[in-house]
């Protein structure tokens, strides 16, 4: 296991990163949570519990956590929340849509165990809120914005006055894969992801100093949203264009079309271990299927 503390904006925001050192992992991924004025946004993974406890006990003054908000129910965001509530009496908040996912807790597949801990997501009673979330000193007030797509319950926190946003997994570093296929609890819809980014971009118009904190990425500016939207638009256009060409030369079967699109867009074998390790739960085929389901002229 490893963990790292990353301060931003003169230590106003602190990111706590945690990662597993499981030998089976060839592509490193970390879980992030962010602390601002006593508010912890997300709570890392179940496997981080021991390290998270250690970090929380070192916090002093304004950094002592007095509330926690979960951007969505995924285990790499909600994993440490049951321990924080039980041992530190920290109230855990989330959108009403997140609550039912965590009421029961859930188990997950082998590859997610290697990344996020083998015990699964423990159940926790989360308090639903529609915001705003006001931090300890009263200096920050976060409005909550639904950003479905990566998960149905995903919610972003935006403080317009201070130009700070926490968006969880609403924006990814690079779009090449989506969750879906065989998994019921994980399904990503690329058109929803795009539309959510578009509304975030709109909501934050004129905020030239906006600092956006993205899980698995770090701090980015508003331009990053525009870049990601462009990336998705390009994939969308490409997938449909290739599909049309294939149909024109006689391709009929959808699975063959998807395979061919993948071959034409991406380098062979690029990050193939994701697909293999996840047994199809994360794959390019999922992404292409959701790109094709999304009409070009919408
Ligand atoms: Zn997620």
Confidence (pLDDT) at 124 = 95
Residue with the larger pLDDT of the pair 178 and 53:
53
pTM of the model: 0.94
249-295 per-position pLDDT tens digit = 999 999 999 999 999 998 776 666 666 667 677 788 889 999 999 99
Cα of 252 from ligand 1 centre, angstroms = 34
> Which CATH superfamily does the domain covering 2-221 fall into?
Ribonuclease Z/Hydroxyacylglutathione hydrolase-like (3.60.15.10)
138-181 per-position pLDDT tens digit = 999 999 999 999 999 999 999 999 999 999 999 998 887 777 76
| CA dist list (Å): 139 to 135, 148, 223 | 7, 28, 26
| CA dist list (Å): 66 to 98, 133, 135 | 20, 12, 9
Confidence (pLDDT) at 283 = 82
Residues carrying CATH 3.60.15.10, the chain = 2-221
Cα of 218 from ligand 1 centre, angstroms = 15
Rounded CA-CA distance 263/277 in Å is 20
Checking if the pLDDT of 187 tops 80, the result is yes
Rounded CA-CA distance 157/130 in Å is 11
Cα of 74 from ligand 1 centre, angstroms = 5
Cα of 253 from ligand 1 centre, angstroms = 32
Cα of 294 from ligand 1 centre, angstroms = 21
Confidence (pLDDT) at 37 = 98
Cα of 215 from ligand 1 centre, angstroms = 9
């Amino acid at each position: 296991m490893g963990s790292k503390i990353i301060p931003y904006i003169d230590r106003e925001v602190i990111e706590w990163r945690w990662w597993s050192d499981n030998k089976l992992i060839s592509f490193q991924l970390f879980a992030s949570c962010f602390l601002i004025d006593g508010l912890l946004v997300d709570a890392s993974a179940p496997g981080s519990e021991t390290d998270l406890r250690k970090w929380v006990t070192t916090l002093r003054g304004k950094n002592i956590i007095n509330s926690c908000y979960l951007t969505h129910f995924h285990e790499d965001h909600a994993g440490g929340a049951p321990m924080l509530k039980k041992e530190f009496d920290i109230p855990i908040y989330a959108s009403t849509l997140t609550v039912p996912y965590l009421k029961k807790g859930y188990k997950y597949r082998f590859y997610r165990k290697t990344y996020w801990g083998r015990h699964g997501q423990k159940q926790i009673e989360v308090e639903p809120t529609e915001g705003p979330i006001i931090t300890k000193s009263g200096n920050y007030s976060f409005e909550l914005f639904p950003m479905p797509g990566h998960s149905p319950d995903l919610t972003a926190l935006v403080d317009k006055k201070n130009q700070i946003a926490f968006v969880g997994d609403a924006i990814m570093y690079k779009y090449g894969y989506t969750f879906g296929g065989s998994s019921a609890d994980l399904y990503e819809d690329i058109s929803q992801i795009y539309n959510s980014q578009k509304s975030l971009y709109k909501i934050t118009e004129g905020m030239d100093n906006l600092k956006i904190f993205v899980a698995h990425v770090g701090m980015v500016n508003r331009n990053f949203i525009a870049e990601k939207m462009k990336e998705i638009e390009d994939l969308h256009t490409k997938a449909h264009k290739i599909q049309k060409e294939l149909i024109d030369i006689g391709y009929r079967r959808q699975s063959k079309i998807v395979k061919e699109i993948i071959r034409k867009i991406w380098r062979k074998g690029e990050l193939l271990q994701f697909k293999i390790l996840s047994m199809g739960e994360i794959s390019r085929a999922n992404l292409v299927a959701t790109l094709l389901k999304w009409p070009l002229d919408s």
